[in-house]
Amino acid sequence: MKFDSLIIGGGLAGLVCGIRCAQAGLKTGIISRGESGLAFSSGTIDLMGTGQNRESLIDPFKGIEWMLLKNPEHPYGKVGLDNIHQAMSWFQTLSREIELPYAPIAEGKNQHRITALGALRPTYLSPASMVHMPIEGKQTGFHRVAVVNIEGFRDFQPELARHNLRCLAEFQGVEVVSATIKLPSEALGNRDPGTMRSVELSRQLDSDRAISILAEKLKAAIGHADLVLLPSVLSLSNGSERLAQLSELSGYKISELATLPPSLPGLRLSERLQQRFHRLGGLMMSGDKADKGIIEQGKVQSISTHGNNQMALIADHIILASGSFMSGGLVADRNRIRESIFGLDVNTDSDRPQWANQKFLNGKAHAFTGFGVVVDQYMRPRKDNETVENLYCIGSVLGHAQPVEEGSAGGIAISTGWAAAERIIQKAAIQQKTAVQKTSSQEEIHHVR
Amino acid sequence: MSVNLALLDTSFDMCIKCTVCTTKCPVAEVQPDYPGPKQSGPDGERWRIKGEGFYDESLKYCTNCKRCEVACPSGVEIGSIIQKAKVRSGRHKPKIRDYILSHTDLMGAVATPVAPVVNMVTKVKPVRKLMDKVLDIDERPALPTYSWQTFRQWFKKDAPDQTGFKRQITFYHGCYINSNDTTVGKDLVKVLNAMNIGVQLLKKEKCCGVPLIANGFMDKAQSNAKLNTEQFREALEGDSECVISTSSSCSMTIRDEYHKLLEVDNRELVDRIFFFNTFLVKEFEQGNLPEMKPVKIKIAYHSPCHLIRVGGIVFTLEILRRIPGVELHMLDQRCCGQAGTYGFKKENYETSQEIGAPIFDQINKINPDFVVTDCEACKMQVESSTDYKVLHPLSVLARAL
């Protein structure tokens, strides 16, 4: 079957690229093997969080500029600063369209996200269900913060979060308390919350009645507080709406904390983006898996998939958004790294002992997290040193980035996905123009005869 | 030889314990007693290989809709792990009820000669009450009705002559088209003939095996698979280009489960066994598009779980989009809850309805002329639970001819 653009991978990068292409009226397909990394993510979008000296960056765009001086091959270098700006503001518009608005604390400024363990992490965009905390200055502006759990829920420890928050410079002089509230068993479907994961709990709490009980219990348990931190357990699909409702009923400013996977805020974003893609007429092949791509004469000729090996999929433009090692876009063999679908050229020339640091968690970037596909300025990869004309690589399959150390995975996914789509839209417009010219000149000939 | 389910399959080791499957499980969403696919599948299997004592009752809740497999980022075949465990455990001994519900070809052969009587009787309330009490077949869902004339009888007696076509394909009609509703079979003949392709039937065929697998009759499913595979081989050695099926579950079973689950090696044939949608899209793209007139109807398309599993929804949409005049609305991709024979069972009826409720609501909101879906079980569920009639995509196409 023939598409205008065909994307391999339904994570953040693939969905962004797919939505942008579908918005432009291109016939767009996404082959998606299972839920993406969004299901494990915090649900915020990091752009460039950490600087060269491991400091939290206030201005992510300046941070990108500095980083590019040392590492011009970074995916951000291919996209360019202007385009990164445009991509991020396009994403914010999209987030409002899907009614899950994402925003920075101020234009071009990073903010702090609070983790479930009570640590602060720099990020750029966060959903309305999470509090915007400034990185600048050492004051949070809060006087009394309450960390609250629902009794029995085992995947969140409010005391631990409280203790860690208290240790932070930003929380000096802030009274941090923790509380556990017991919900009546009818609000939990007469079940023991100790047996539930976040998703199961969210199904019980996704009702007006449960939210109003929760609001009353909150008020009784914590008294005055100018910020309440809750684990993300209120509704999978309508979490932001439920949180706003709880805020209104209880009078508290409430912020949710992403808990252990599966992450509700991340799944929520994934679900809404997929829905958007469907509504724009995008064609999702979930459950299927791209097995192999045939490259001949410098172009991808066709893709075969696991579920439909009877029909090759063809497209004018192919986009590889297959992710890194965890998603299977990159595979580590004994002595080499390979890209799993096309066998594209990757940036790994070191021997295996150099791939990882001796100490795994000492905060220093490992070489392997920077491995990936090598691309030209249009994000087109090479196979056996020859550029593949109609293939674009986006997201974490790209090499030369250090997403973990930099705090840049979301920004790379969005900006490369957007930029590849823009390039494809441009090319498709040119093709269409030539096609129209051709037919009109043929008509002229016909007319003269 | 019987199906060897004892072979140690350790594919559950690929599970990274992320629990994403459970967030997408339609049963877990409405039935809190079901621990979810992660627990019942890979987690449970880790213990079940240890010994008999680790099998538990909750396996019975799984409908084998395979949405867990669609969601899994690690390629674990969770649904299959649960189905195999259910059979291996020996605890889920099939009942008479399960025999009746799953032996669809046998029931068809018994019921079609006396179809009007059967259809009338299965609508009589006291009879349904009795079936409910004695057989545990819930009295509420509408049971499939039977056709007076089977599809095979129609094809032999009343179908247009097929010998004049240069190109020939073989149609595997399955039980539902043969005994319950012959419309889709007739529409396939009409559509393919309009595309200058002739239709043949297999000399004989048996139920694909999908309800037998779900109800634990693995040996019977295997013997059916053997017979069907022999028939496919014979047809494909003759003048038939390929075998086509119009049921998404039959196709998935023949293509994926014969070899993997039932140990009937059909690998050299599967590339020539098509679900109707891929065959038609291929033909359309090669320019073999039948002449179509506008069909001015508003349809709501429901995506069957098993078609989602094989990534096949896009091909049906491609066909529907090419039919002029059709106003297409996409229903959210949720399970309708029927899952073959699951929704007919007394212990499952309520779960089945709760799973389907959001879909029924959405249909009512859209208020289409017809709901369209590729699966006969989804059709039965939607027709039983809403006031809307359900068409197969081929029947929409046939209206355009």
Q: Where are the domains of chain B?
A: 11-89, 298-399
Question: Of B273, B224, B268, nearest to B3 (Cα)?
Answer: B224
A248, A278: one domain:
no
Q: Does A280 touch chain B (CB under 8 A)?
A: no
B105-115 per-position pLDDT tens digit: 777 777 777 77
Tokens of A167: 């240790």
The pLDDT of residue B141 is above 90: no
The shortest C-alpha distance from B21 to chain A (Å) reads 9
Judge if the upstream peptide bond of residue A403 is cis by omega within 30 degrees of 0: no
Q: What is the mean pLDDT of residues B295-307?
A: 94
Whether residues A199 and B19 touch (CB distance < 8 A) is answered with yes
Q: Last residue of some domain: A194, A219, A252?
A: A252
Residue A31 near residue A319, CB atoms below 8 Å? no
Least confident piece of the model among A435-439, B160-164, B396-400: A435-439
Residue B161 near residue B125, CB atoms below 8 Å? no
Chain A residues touching residue B70 (CB < 8 angstroms): 34, 286-287
Give the confidence band of A184 by pLDDT, cuts at 50, 70, 90. Answer: very high
Choose the closest CB to A287 out of B22, B70, B285: B70
Whether residues B29 and A203 touch (CB distance < 8 A) is answered with yes
Chain A residues touching residue B66 (CB < 8 angstroms): 287
Whether residues B19 and A203 touch (CB distance < 8 A) is answered with no
In a domain, A113, yes or no: no
Q: What is the DSSP string of A34-81?
A: S--GGGGS-SSB-SS-B-TTSPBPS-HHHHHHHHHHH-TTSHHHHH-H
Residue B41 near residue B76, CB atoms below 8 Å? yes
Q: What is residue A445's predicted lDDT score, i.e. its pLDDT?
A: 36
Query: Which distant-in-sequence residues (6+ apart) come within 8 Å of B111 by Cβ?
Result: B118, B146, B179
Chain A residues touching residue B330 (CB < 8 angstroms): 278-279
Tokens of A195: 């047996």
Residue, of A211 and B110, whose pLDDT is higher: A211
Q: What is residue B4's predicted lDDT score, i.e. its pLDDT?
A: 59
Q: What is residue A448's predicted lDDT score, i.e. its pLDDT?
A: 34
Whether residues B69 and A287 touch (CB distance < 8 A) is answered with yes
Window 227-286 of B: residues touching A by CB (8 A cutoff) are 271, 274, 278, 281-282, 285
In a domain, A363, yes or no: yes
A34, A155: one domain:
no
In a domain, A261, yes or no: no
Choose the closest CB to B32 out of A189, A279, A287: A189
Q: Does B66 touch chain A (CB under 8 A)?
A: yes
What's the whole-number average pLDDT of chain A?
92
Q: Which residue of B has its CA nearest to A285?
A: B311
Residue, of A264 and B147, whose pLDDT is higher: A264
In a domain, A116, yes or no: no
A150, A53: one domain:
no
Q: Which residue of B has its CA nearest to A261?
A: B18
Suggest the residue from B21, B23, B80, B320 to mutate for an interface test with chain A (most A CBs closer than 10 A): B23
A276, A310: one domain:
yes
Choose the closest CB to B18 out of A262, A288, A307: A262
Question: Of B179, B193, B115, B110, nearest to B151 (Cα)?
Answer: B179
A336-371 per-position pLDDT tens digit: 999 999 999 999 888 888 999 988 888 788 999 999
A305, A246: one domain:
no
Q: What is residue A364's predicted lDDT score, i.e. its pLDDT?
A: 83
Q: What is residue B2's predicted lDDT score, i.e. its pLDDT?
A: 55
A74-123 per-position pLDDT tens digit: 999 999 999 999 999 999 999 999 999 999 999 999 999 999 999 999 99
Q: Which residue of A has its CA nearest to B269?
A: A310
Q: What is residue A225's predicted lDDT score, i.e. its pLDDT?
A: 95
Residue A388 near residue A4, CB atoms below 8 Å? no
Q: What is residue B369's predicted lDDT score, i.e. its pLDDT?
A: 97
Least confident piece of the model among A217-226, A237-246, A287-296, B130-139: B130-139
Q: Does B142 touch chain A (CB under 8 A)?
A: no
Strand ranges inside A232-377, DSSP E:
254-257, 283-286, 290-296, 299-305, 314-320, 330-332, 337-339
A325, A376: one domain:
yes
Helix residue ranges per DSSP H, B16-61 = 20-23, 26-30, 37-38, 44-48
Q: What is residue A443's predicted lDDT score, i.e. its pLDDT?
A: 39
The pLDDT of residue A271 is above 70: yes
Suggest the residue from A1, A31, A268 to mutate for an interface test with chain B (most B CBs closer than 10 A): A1
* Coil, strand or helix at B78: helix
Q: Where residue A323 sits, what CATH number does that domain have?
A: 3.50.50.60
Chain A residues touching residue B308 (CB < 8 angstroms): 286-287
Q: What is the mean pLDDT of residues B355-383?
A: 94
d(CA B257, CA B225): 9
The pLDDT of residue A446 is above 60: no
Helix residue ranges per DSSP H, A251-314 = 264-279
Query: Which distant-in-sequence residues (6+ apart) come within 8 Å of A42 by Cβ?
Result: A113, A115, A121, A123, A258, A263, A265, A266
Query: Which distant-in-sequence residues (6+ apart) come within 8 Å of B7 by Cβ?
Result: none
Q: What is residue B7's predicted lDDT score, i.e. its pLDDT?
A: 57
In a domain, A8, yes or no: yes
CATH of domain B11-89: 1.10.1060.10
Suggest the residue from A285, A309, A326, A331 to mutate for an interface test with chain B (most B CBs closer than 10 A): A285
The shortest C-alpha distance from B356 to chain A (Å) reads 16
Chain B residues touching residue A29 (CB < 8 angstroms): 314
* Coil, strand or helix at B374: coil
A128-150 per-position pLDDT tens digit: 999 999 998 767 789 999 999 99
> Strand pairing of B327-330 and B390-391?
unpaired
For chain A, what is the domain count?
2
A296, A350: one domain:
yes
Least confident piece of the model among A433-437, B200-204, B304-308: A433-437
Whether residues A288 and B310 touch (CB distance < 8 A) is answered with yes
Residue, of B310 and B160, whose pLDDT is higher: B160
A56, A14: one domain:
yes
Q: Last residue of some domain: A204, A226, A252?
A: A252
Q: What is residue A226's predicted lDDT score, i.e. its pLDDT?
A: 93
A211, A309: one domain:
no
Buried b (16+ CB within 10 A) or exposed e, B344-369: bbbebbebbbebbebbbebbeeeebb
Its ipTM equals 0.87
Q: What is residue A447's predicted lDDT score, i.e. its pLDDT?
A: 37
Query: Which distant-in-sequence residues (6+ apart) come within 8 Å of A286 by Cβ?
Result: A10, A32, B70, B308, B311
Domain assignment of residue A350, given as a range: 2-98+268-433
The proportion of chain A whose per-residue pLDDT surpasses 70, expressed as a percent, equals 96
CATH of domain B298-399: 3.40.50
A30-76 per-position pLDDT tens digit: 999 888 889 989 999 999 999 988 899 999 999 999 999 999 999 99
A154, A280: one domain:
no
Q: Which residue of A has its CA nearest to B74?
A: A34
Question: Of B172, B175, B276, B184, nearest to B231 (Cα)?
Answer: B172
- CA angle at residue A39 from A421 to A249, to 5 degrees? 105
Window 26-65 of A: residues touching B by CB (8 A cutoff) are 29, 31, 33-36, 39-40
